[in-house]
Amino acid sequence: MKELKEILNTVLKEKKGYLTFLTGAGVSAESGLPTYRSVDGIWIKGTKYHRPEEFGTYKYFSQNQEEVWQYNLFWKKMIEEAKPNPGHMALAEIEKLLGDRFRLITQNVDGLHQEVGTENVYEIHGSKHKVRCSQECSEPFDFPENIPSKEYTEDLTPEDIDNLKCRKCGNWLRPNTLWFDESYNEKNYYFDTAYDIADHTDILFVIGTSGSTALPVGIVETVKISAKWIILINPETETYFDYILKGSKTLYSIQESSSKALPELKALIEEILNKKE
Ligand SMILES: [Zn+2]
């Protein structure tokens, strides 16, 4: 990784902008969480198969609240059982090394980055650890403790249904995550903050994400236009990001899984920062 070392050395010693890490489903997949768009992500209810693009929408929720909550309580269970992997841990250590120059923008909604102590995390697709009123009468708040996670086949009880209603207005609560038919915003999803971070980034690490949603693509394009370094970390090399960055002089690709590449990156940053001037 000689060339990467030179890039890091220059940025760490001569520049002042952020080292920004953009993480996606590939990082969580190494903790056993299914990627949302893979076959595993398909929700089967009775004999009906639903694709995420169909049921992961506000429209579907507004007609099938119980079913969508049943799916989300099953996800809650999978998240509770998932353990952070070496990629998550390396990022927490990189934050300690970089201090205020570290920013982490994640598409993941599982909270695994925070679980290992990473602090500067911006969840641009929301968090499954929070809920909010579906009629937007209040701010997002932590998942109520009286709502249990569920097995795949378990139905909601009348008590669950009652606990899943907003205490203020009586309407359904909803997961604090972005659905496919909704727009990004600053209030719930750090839309403006993400662009502001991109504007002040010296190196963007794009990790385990393929570029299938709008804001991550916008972040990558912003960094590309300002001719700052973009480091792709992904075992796959035919992603949309590879396509839009093809031929870029400020692109560096690491064709490895995040749980292998990030501990190596952490060691490299440590080596550069500890070297005597
Ligand atoms: Zn309400």
Q: What is the pLDDT of residues 189-220, one digit of tens each?
A: 999 999 999 999 999 999 999 888 899 999 99
108 and 237 housed in the same domain: yes
The DSSP-derived string for 31-67 is TTPPPTTSGGG-EEETTEEE-HHHHSSHHHHHH-HHH
Q: Are residues 211 and 146 in the same domain?
A: no
Whether residue 169 is annotated as binding a ligand: the answer is: yes
Number of domains within the chain: 2
What pLDDT score does 152 carry? 77
User: Ligand 1 centre and the CA of 57: distance in Å?
Assistant: 19
- pLDDT (0 to 100) of residue 48: 59
Q: Are strands 141-142 and 173-177 parallel, antiparallel or unpaired?
A: unpaired
**Helix/strand/coil for 172:** strand
| Amino acid 277: pLDDT | 53
The 10s digit of each residue's pLDDT in 115-162 is 999 999 999 999 999 999 999 998 999 999 999 999 878 899 999 999
For residues 114 and 239, state if they share a domain.
Answer: yes
Q: Which two tokens stand for residue 203?
A: 């190196």
| Of the candidates 36, 227, 174, 194, the residue with the CA atom closest to the CA atom of residue 124 | 194
- Regarding whether 252 and 173 lie in a shared domain, the answer is no
Secondary-structure percent of the chain, ordered helix, strand, coil, rounded to 5: 45, 20, 35
Of 181, 161, 165, which is closest to residue 173 (Cα–Cα)?
Answer: 165
- CA atoms of 246 and 233, how far apart (whole Å): 15
- Determine the pLDDT at residue 56: 85
Q: What is the DSSP letter of 226?
A: T
Read off the pLDDT band of 244 (50, 70, 90).
very high
Predicted local confidence at residue 35, as pLDDT: 67
- CA 173 / ligand 1 centre spacing (Å): 7
CB atoms within 10 A of CB 124: 22
Active site residues: 125
Instruction: Indicate if 142 and 249 belong to the same structural domain.
Output: no
User: For the domain that residue 222 is a member of, what is the CATH number?
Assistant: 3.40.50.1220
Q: pLDDT per residue over 99-112, tens digit each? A: 999 999 999 999 99
Tell whether 75 and 194 lie within a shared domain: no
Average pLDDT over residues 259-275: 95
Give residue 211's pLDDT: 85
Please give the mean pLDDT across all residues of the chain.
Answer: 91
Distance 166 CA to ligand 1 centre (A): 5
Containing domain of residue 103, as a range?
1-33+84-125+185-277
pLDDT tens-digit readout, 8-44: 999 999 989 999 999 999 999 999 887 655 544 555 5
Q: In DSSP terms, which residues pair with 49 in a beta bridge?
A: 44
Centre of ligand 1 from the C-alpha of residue 259, in Å: 41
Residue 86 annotated as part of some ligand binding site: no
Q: Is the pLDDT of residue 177 over 90?
A: yes
| Same structural domain, 163 and 236 | no
